Structure 1
């Protein structure tokens, strides 16, 4: 804050205080902190004057580095404050001063010592417009437009502009462009213009150019075939040199700021329809800032100089391919889409992908047979999987379940019990069935039935509970079983007369006397 501004702030604080405003009200009105209000109110004009002088003469944190910074600025006038901060940190390990302080200090040093920052500017030369029908420029753009629900939708567009008349054409998509889309857009542009130019200027896009090859351009296969069929000359801009196609660069900016901004997205077809109306109404109907002419009027003359497009070229098949991963899925736009089990064959097998607005179709490149069709997901990191593409893991389990059920005498009750276990322990059902089967082999059918009814009655749906019940009923039956005649051994070698002998029966008083010591 400058000296005069501080004085104005000081008097404003005292004036508002004199009107009866509170400290917090003064701070809000002047957009300053309450501590500053307290400080200004505590000083009279003489004290504030001394305070201002102290501010101007007080030492600054970067004063110890002043000569070093000055030396750098004089040697490298284009040096930025951010780079000076980095150099100070590099040379002084304990340097802890913030970036904003360094920027302010460097700015003050430049003013005080007359070291303006030099900026290297590229020198441009005005280029005359090419002859009518000679050149067209093409470029891509992308924006986000809100849909009817208020959610942002990412959209892509391609723009064409005739270099002489500045007549424009725009085509929109709701997905990234592929080579087929670029070719289709060219055909739409040629229909819109009623012809094509002899030369078309492009940026070095991977959809069109495979390699710059030191000036001997190598185009992608599909685009090279299209260029041969149409017979126009391709001129690619140099890397990091968008100014060489400045006409279409301005068109991209114009479409974003004048047409797309704050527009509501309904559908791609509706958007293309609205864009054509915008071109007729505004994009090609208003006076161009540079040429001072209306593009539509100049185009009416230039159209006669365009090369005719007589035959319609059938666009190639969709050129999107994806490699099948070992989990029988493919990656597309950050999501995984399933293909039938067995599609992965241990090699880097590729499949074709056809994408429309809402659906994704995957087909075999060799036979053309469609392998899968999915709903497109516009989220990221999703797994989109058809039910019939999943392995049926229940086949083996189901057969094992039926096999164990048949080992019970009451198969209906056993099936209900095992199904309940399966629902509660789906991940460990095989282990559960193994324990039950092992337990069944060690007990009789009577014990098995008792244990099964007991577990069903008390809702004990675990294999360990069933095994515990089996052990309990096995022990109970052994302990409570009556002795059989086979288990009673007859007395041998004893006089039968003794069998009739009876033990002496004493009166209970006898035992009482004995206990009392009598």
Structure 2
């Protein structure tokens, strides 16, 4: 859901887990999360130091594509053509999970078709190629499982992966820490080392904890309302958010 370097590391790690190994070489386009553009010049590409450290610990050699050279860059960009197969599904999915299912189906079809470059069926070729992979170093997850910080908005929310999650309004304007669970399915939010809230990660844009939402309402126009009125209003509003 974003293009940060932490996300790049996490996605590479998940790819290595899926294939049960690490290739000896990986070709990269000259994106900012991989190449240090300020220190690079024509004919000499300098990799980002953190990325280079990740590649060494993961066990693969990073190779940068040469701009305007189809023999290298074209090989990487040709993979983007497969996304054209998504066009017929436009409007037929609403969640990332549904999109994942469609992509899995497309991948299954592609892996049974003869490749235009190798003239071989990928699934059959893979049986031989996977024997050449380096073993996966699970310790590289430290590169993306680091603590992240966020400033609590005036709406008493923090942003994580393009979705918002609530905390108690007393933390508005304060900087909190976010720790992702080992399963990547939930987050814990800390203030000065103390856990103040946990949330399951969802596809919803707004994610409110009921206690937080009630506290938010009490600081606004609803501070004079009774507990029953607050609970009724809160229930109706949270259902409306879930339907968005």
Given that 2:187 and 2:198 are in contact with CA atoms closer than 8 Å, whether structure 1 keeps it comes out as: yes
Say whether 1:218 aligns with 2:45. no
Deviation of 1:192 (Å): 4.0
Residue in structure 2 matching 1:234, options 47, 51, 62: 62
Q: Which residue of 2 aligns with 1:371?
A: 197
Secondary structure of 1:213 counterpart: coil
Q: Could you say which residue in structure 2 is the equivalent of 1:386?
A: 213
Aligned residue in 2 for 1:323: 151
Looking at structure 2, the residues matched to 188 and 338 of structure 1 have their Cα atoms a distance apart, in angstroms, of: 28
**TM-score normalised by length of structure 1:** 0.32
Structure-2 change in CA distance of 1:390 and 1:290 (3 Å) = same
Distance 1:285 1:179, change over 3 A: same
Could you tell me how far 1:233 is from its partner in structure 2? 1.7
Q: CA RMSD in A?
A: 4.3
d(CA) in 1 for partners of 2:187, 2:17: 29
Deviations 1:254-275 (A, max 9, x none): 1x222x2223337545544553
Structure 1 residue 370, shift from structure 2 partner: 3.6
Partner of 1:249: 77
Of 167, 170, 175, the match for 1:339:
167
Which residue, out of 21, 25, 30, partners 1:204?
30
SS in 1 for 2:62: strand
Contact 1:287 1:293 (C-alpha < 8 Å) held by counterparts: yes
Whether 1:185 and 2:8 are equivalent positions in the alignment is no
Residue in structure 1 matching 2:112, options 273, 282, 285: 285
Give the gaps of 5 or more residues in structure 1: 1-174, 380-384, 399-518
Q: Give the superposition deviation at 1:330.
A: 3.9
Matched, 1:308 2:134: yes
- Cα separation, partners in 2 of 1:279 and 1:397, compared to 1, 3 Å: closer
Deviation per residue, 1:18-40 (Å, 9 max, x gap): xxxxxxxxxxxxxxxxxxxxxxx
Larger Rg: 1
Q: 1:225 to 1:365 in 2, by over 3 A?
A: farther
Q: Contact (CA 8 Å) 1:341, 1:390: kept in 2 or not?
A: no
Q: Assess if the C-alpha contact under 8 Å between 1:180 and 1:319 holds in 2.
A: no
State the TM-score, normalizing by the size of structure 2: 0.60
Contact 1:353 1:362 in 2 (8 A): yes
Distance 1:277 1:363, change over 3 A: same
Deviation at 1:290, TM superposition (A): 3.2
Could you say what secondary structure the match of 2:169 adopts? coil
SS at match of 1:386: helix
| Secondary structure, counterpart of 2:138 in structure 1 | coil
Taking the aligned partners of 2:197 and 2:57, their CA distance within structure 1 comes to 33
Q: Which residue of 2 aligns with 1:297?
A: 124
Closer, same or farther: CA 392–226 of 1 in aligned 2, 3 Å: same
- SS at 1:250's partner residue? helix
Asked if the contact 2:150/2:177 (under 8 Å) is kept, the reply is yes
Residue-by-residue CA offset, 1:5-25 (whole Å, 9 max, x unaligned) = xxxxxxxxxxxxxxxxxxxxx
CA distance in 2 between partners of 1:352 and 1:249 (Å): 35
* Stretch moving more, 185-194 or 367-376: 367-376
Determine the C-alpha separation between the residues in 2 that align with 1:181 and 1:196.
Answer: 18
Q: Tell me the SS of whatever aligns to 1:261.
A: helix
Give the conservation status (yes or no) of the 8 Å contact 1:341–1:391: no
For 1:298 and 1:395, how far apart are their aligned partners in 2? 65
Normalized per residue, the structure richer in helix is 1
